Chain A
Amino acid sequence: MTPNTPSPLTLPARAPLLSRGGWAAFLVALILVCAVAPVLNMAVPEGSAFHLSDYMVGLIGKIMCYAICALAMDLIWGYTGILSLGHGLFFALGGYMMGMYLMRQIGRDGSYKSDLPDFMVFLDWKELPWHWALSGSFVATLVLIVAVPALLAFVFGWFAFRSRIKGVYFSIITQALTVAAMLLFFRNETGFGGNNGFTDFKRILGIPIATQEMRMLLFVLTGATLLGFFLLARWLVGSKYGRVLQAIRDAESRVMFSGYNPLPYKLSIWIISAVMCGVAGALYVPQVGIINPGEMSPANSIEIAIWAAVGGRATLVGPIIGAFLVNGAKSWLTVAAPEYWLFFLGGLFIVVTLFLPNGVVGLVRQLRRGKPVTAPAAAAAERSLESEAGEDVPPSVGPQATALPGQGARA
């Protein structure tokens, strides 16, 4: 996009992917995940204070999958300003693709000793339905894990962004899509195991899945994926592409007046985000050992948003921290005081939106700078949100288009 007239403006030089300290922290994280955790889990004896229990391995592995989702949510919401309430669907789709492969890997070891997965025998099906055709091959499964969420995201996003559906409208129709998919997957006839989904996995690539080594391998793989996606996101956000995304978030009309077409930007980041969620789902299923349509419930998708918000939107470390904080609290509270978990989660939604617009990371940064909470950072966030509000409403909607900016100014 070269301007027609020479401009005196010089674009800032591209920042390095990570600062020196950043790289150090990244390396530490990588070593922790790939070396320290396995050693603590497998080599350190069980009685030792440093032993990492299998339960903790499972829990952290699960949370790392959630962190990938939060990262994906951050790319689309924190950086592009599009709140998706349908990321649970992409997560579940990735999980289902992996689940199909794992179901086929059970082979004849199911309770009906049939070539078909148990639930099909139960439904009296004689052969695999068409959409199971590729489920026997691991390579095809890997392709599908990426392709299916990408395709759905492309079709849905292309139509939605082309008609310039924005803001809350977009959020609500993504939620409707997720609900529709959930209802569809609940049906036995859809061929995904209905209510019960897939479970009782035995092997992956012919190797038993429930062993400690396999669990550790999946854990390391998840951690590496998370760190890889973090670098990818960092690279995307730092590039010119990322700048345009943030410009779209802050003032989409201005971006258009500057000669950019927002459609390919929004669509591509939407697809990248969906694929990240799909991969997270595919890593999640073999570790947790079950996938069912409950993963598509609207509540799950909204929870992804709160992970990102708690950690801090428009920061890349934030969503990962948020996912660990919220899910850590969840696994502790649902055991210690189950009746207070929803109060805590609900309160978190309210407190974060009211008092922590930049999340935990933003709070830490402000404290470090020693400035009060109503510092320019918060004001800037407010401003960007204001313009977001002004653009949220389709221009053709009558009274609101005039009403909302006023409200924004008041807020």
Chain B
Amino acid sequence: MTRPFRAAPRWRPLRAAWRGCALMLLALLLAPGAWALTAEQALKMATGDGEDRVQAINEAVLDADDRTRAFIDALSNDAVKASDKAAFVMEGDQATDPVTGAKVKLPDDAEDVINNNFLRSALDAAKAALQLHSEDEATRAAAAAALMKDPDESRLPLIDRALAAEKSPAVRDRLELARATTLLASHDAAKRLQAAEALQLARSPDIKLLLNEQLSHEDDPKVKAAIQAAIAKINEGLAWGDRLGVLFTGASLGSILLLAALGLAITYGLMGVINMAHGELIMIGAYATYVMQVLFQRYLPDSAFGWYLVAAVPVSFLASALVGAVLERGVIRFLYGRPLETLLATWGISLVLIQSVRSLFGAQNVGVENPSWMSGGWQVLPNLMLPYNRLVIIGFAAVVLAGVAFLISRTRLGLFVRGVTQNRPIASCMGVNTARIDTYAFALGSGIAGLAGCALSQVGNVGPDLGQSYIVDSFMVVVLGGVGQLAGTVYAALGLGLANKLLEGWTGAVLAKIAVLVFIIVFIQKRPQGIFALKGREA
């Protein structure tokens, strides 16, 4: 199947070679008298054999005007009909002439133009190529990236022209990459060598894939070596992205665990109340966020929707704090000093709360949308994207942590809470209303659980069982960190998050989770007081 006139080794599927050669010829022929879309061109793009149509499309792109653009758009929207003699752009039922835009009568033999997948990808690439001269820098960059995905030597002149006109360095870099990937597909070994060297600088898994593919049917030893070197270089770059990515997901999980455990650090760590309904307080915070979302959707204009989350933060805090205060007043205060009973009673409360939410909102998960300013992400490296919602949660966890630390160590309420937990009778003698402080402290811990729920609603499912999945983890964090310790809670949460994600890459998610649980079980045997035990006379 080798082509007799080609000296260079076989380098691409035959189809592309054909297209490339033919197009270059055509481009040469057409170049001097660059003209806009003609009726003949439109007909060629719309009818005939798939190969020929792609050829016509690629050729039209080289010298595109607004009409060409509109026609290609119409083609990809399936809004073109064609007869044997001419193609028509359909606007509803009205046919228009693709060249002039004038309304014309549709001949009876005109039929819908059908595009198969092969044609669709050609059309997509053509659309991307057309955008290389867009006014918007981001659009141009996206177009260059799209061209990289489907390199075709026929578009080389197009890229060269775009490069000549391009001012923005970021887009120039992209275009250079696109040029290199296109050259990599060339049948000239020297060009491929040049391309492989240029691609060393790329740090993208896509390019790596492309290079690997080229390597598999490359037979020029020099080019082969250059490609291998480029792949090694890229791997080096990617490794950093991967490592940072694991660290980031670990920190993200850690921040979520921290938020979930922080409230528990107050109710269990400081007050000594085993609250098995803590997970359900998280769930209530998440549902409060959902309610705010629905309220904003229903009663406020669309432009305000992005702010629902900001409004949901205090609401979820108050909702959970209120439920927490009611629990403390109604049940838990009768059980102080009886931890096992507290455990069972709060478990019962958690069942009641789950069923209440099920009865109110239904057993299915409810959908909580990210506001627009939280969707998307920050592309740090080609293979490392930090989603904004995770970044916001990490920041939020830090802020909540700082707030709690401030509250406990610097405010009057914090002083009372510490006083009551350290020595209740003396605090009482000093005139502290210990029962009220208990309620406040419990409400505070519950409110923080609500904040955790608000954050969780942005990254996970919100359903009645949301809390159940966090309760074991939260207790692990508090127990591991050391009871009565905020700093310990922080370290334990981040440590568990990182350990979980690091192990996950190695053993898989389930085994990682098991390993972490077993580690905690063993750890508690050795150090029942946690990592950071308070040093005191009792110790």
Contact = CB atoms under 8 A, between A and B. Distances in A.
The judgment on whether A and B are partners is yes
Interface of A: 77, 83, 156, 159-160, 162-165, 167-169, 171-173, 175-177, 179-180, 183-184, 186-187, 298-299, 302, 305-306, 309, 339-343, 345-350, 352-354, 357, 385-386, 388-389, 392-411
B256 interface: no
B355 interface: yes
Given A168-B274, A404-B272, A346 B425 contact: no
Contact of B349 (A341, A350, A399): A350
Nearest to B336: A407
A187 B509 CA distance: 11
Contact of A183 (B338, B421, B510): B510
The 3 closest A-B pairs by CB, nearest first: A349-B348, A408-B337, A398-B534
Contact of B528 (A354, A396, A402, A408): A396
B239 interface: no
B524 A165 contact: yes
B534 A397 contact: yes
Given A176-B475, A309-B344, 15 more contacts: A163-B526, A175-B472, A176-B472, A177-B521, A186-B510, A346-B352, A349-B348, A353-B338, A392-B339, A393-B483, A394-B528, A398-B539, A400-B484, A403-B272, A408-B337
B423 A403 contact: yes
B476 interface: yes
B523 to A, nearest CB: 10
Interface string B321-347: 000000000010011111111111101
A248 to B, nearest CB: 15
Contacts of B511: 187
Contacts of A169: 479, 524, 528
B351 interface: yes
B518 interface: yes
B127 interface: no
A3 to B, nearest CB: 31
Contact of B424 (A186, A353, A407): A407
B538 A353 contact: no
B350 interface: yes
Given A163-B525, A353-B344, A398-B538, A180 B518 contact: yes
Given A183-B510, A354-B335, A176 B521 contact: yes
Interface string B144-155: 000000000000
Contacts of A83: 340, 343
Mostly helix, strand, loop or mixed at chain A's interface?
Answer: helix
A171 B524 contact: no
Given A159-B525, A404-B272, A410-B424, A339 B358 contact: yes
Interface of B: 270, 272, 274, 331, 334-345, 347-356, 358-359, 420-425, 468, 472, 475-476, 479, 483-484, 510-511, 513-514, 517-518, 520-522, 524-526, 528-529, 533-536, 538-539
Contact of A389 (B337, B472, B514, B536): B337
A360 B274 CA distance: 25
Contacts of A404: 272, 337
B522 to A, nearest CB: 8
A190 B334 CA distance: 45
Given A167-B339, A176-B521, A339-B359, A399 B528 contact: no
Contact of A298 (B354, B422, B472): B472
A163 B525 CA distance: 6
Contacts of B476: 172, 176
17 contacts: A77-B340, A163-B524, A165-B524, A183-B510, A183-B517, A299-B468, A342-B358, A346-B351, A349-B348, A386-B337, A396-B539, A398-B534, A399-B534, A402-B422, A402-B538, A406-B425, A411-B334
A176 B520 contact: yes
Given A342-B352, A397-B538, A407-B336, A184 B524 contact: no
A349 B347 CA distance: 7
A345 B522 CA distance: 33
Given A347-B348, A394-B528, A400-B272, A385 B341 contact: yes
Mostly helix, strand, loop or mixed at chain B's interface?
Answer: helix
B359 A410 contact: no
A263 to B, nearest CB: 13
Given A83-B343, A403-B423, A172 B359 contact: no
B423 A402 contact: yes
Nearest to A386: B337
Given A343-B355, A346-B351, A347-B348, A393 B272 contact: yes
Given A172-B475, A180-B514, A389 B351 contact: no
A386 B341 CA distance: 11
Nearest to A400: B272
Nearest to A186: B510
Contacts of A187: 510-511
A410 B484 contact: no
A187 B511 CA distance: 9
Contacts of A402: 422-423, 538
A152 B334 CA distance: 36
A168 B479 CA distance: 10
Given A354-B345, A406-B424, A180 B517 contact: yes
A344 to B, nearest CB: 9
B517 A346 contact: no
A411 B338 contact: yes
Contacts of A305: 344
Among the interface residues B337, B472, B479, B533, which one has the most CB atoms of the partner chain A within 10 A? B337
Contact of A353 (B335, B353, B520): B335
B516 to A, nearest CB: 9
Given A171-B343, A396-B539, A397-B529, A350 B348 contact: yes
B77 to A, nearest CB: 45
Contacts of A167: 339-340
Contacts of B353: 346
A306 B528 CA distance: 27
Nearest to A156: B521
B465 to A, nearest CB: 10
Contacts of B342: 353
A11 to B, nearest CB: 30
A402 to B, nearest CB: 6
Contacts of B347: 302, 346, 349
A177 B517 contact: yes
Nearest to B330: A350
Contacts of B359: 339
A77 B421 CA distance: 28
A246 B274 CA distance: 24
A309 B534 CA distance: 35
A398 B537 CA distance: 8
A162 B534 CA distance: 22
Contacts of A388: 338, 340
Contacts of B423: 402-403, 406
A169 B269 CA distance: 12
Contacts of B536: 398-399
